[in-house]
């Protein structure tokens, strides 16, 4: 479908204004799935467009997987897109979901993204094992 390709291309190039216009003014679905199973959030995460990732997270779920079982966090981690990794983790993207090769986002991470994810998991191990994400805990404490 043409509308899917337009949104995917805009995400590939990090065109925030185009993506927002398509979603808000033309009522495009913010999570169209391409032939490879990728959504615009997957593409923006892979390409390192952290500002667009933050915007897409308002409309799209970080739980969606592509045809290979990769979440946006898998792709950002593998490409060492540190700012995207941080944005996705802050949005409660799944840390332990396995792709079709059996890898979690931490398993496939490289460079500073790998270090960040490893430290995040180490520092928050108790909450994560209890099924509570640290940012969820903060929300619960203030409500």
Whole-number Å distance between alpha carbons of 135 and 143: 13
Which residue in this structure is represented by tokens 């913010």?
Answer: 30
| Cβ proximity of 40 and 71 under 8 Å | no
Give me the pLDDT at residue 62, please.
95
Give me the pLDDT at residue 113, please.
84
Environment class of 35 (CB within 10 Å of its CB; exposed 0-12, middle 13-18, buried 19+)? exposed
Give me the pLDDT at residue 136, please.
43
Domains annotated for the chain, with CATH where assigned, are: 2-142 (1.25.40.20)
pLDDT, tens digit, 9 for 90 and up, residues 7-54: 999 999 999 999 999 999 999 999 999 999 999 999 999 999 999 999
Give me the pLDDT at residue 139, please.
33
Give me the pLDDT at residue 74, please.
95
Residue 77 structure tokens: 């981690």
Give me the pLDDT at residue 102, please.
94
Which residues, in sequence order, are CB contacts of 9 under 8 Å at separation 6+?
none
């Amino acid at each position: 479908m043409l509308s899917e390709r337009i949104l995917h291309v805009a995400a590939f190039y990090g065109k925030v204004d185009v993506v927002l216009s398509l979603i808000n003014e033309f009522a495009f679905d913010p999570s169209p799935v391409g032939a490879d199973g990728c959504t615009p959030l997957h593409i923006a995460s892979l390409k390192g467009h952290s500002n667009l990732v933050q915007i897409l997270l308002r409309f799209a779920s970080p739980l969606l997987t592509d045809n290979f079982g990769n979440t946006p966090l898998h792709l950002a981690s593998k490409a060492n897109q540190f700012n995207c990794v941080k944005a996705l983790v802050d949005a409660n993207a799944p840390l332990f979901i396995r792709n079709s090769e059996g890898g979690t986002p931490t398993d496939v991470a490289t460079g500073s993204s790998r270090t960040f994810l490893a430290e995040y998991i180490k520092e928050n191990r108790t909450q994560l094992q209890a099924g509570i994400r640290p940012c969820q805990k903060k929300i619960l404490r203030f409500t």
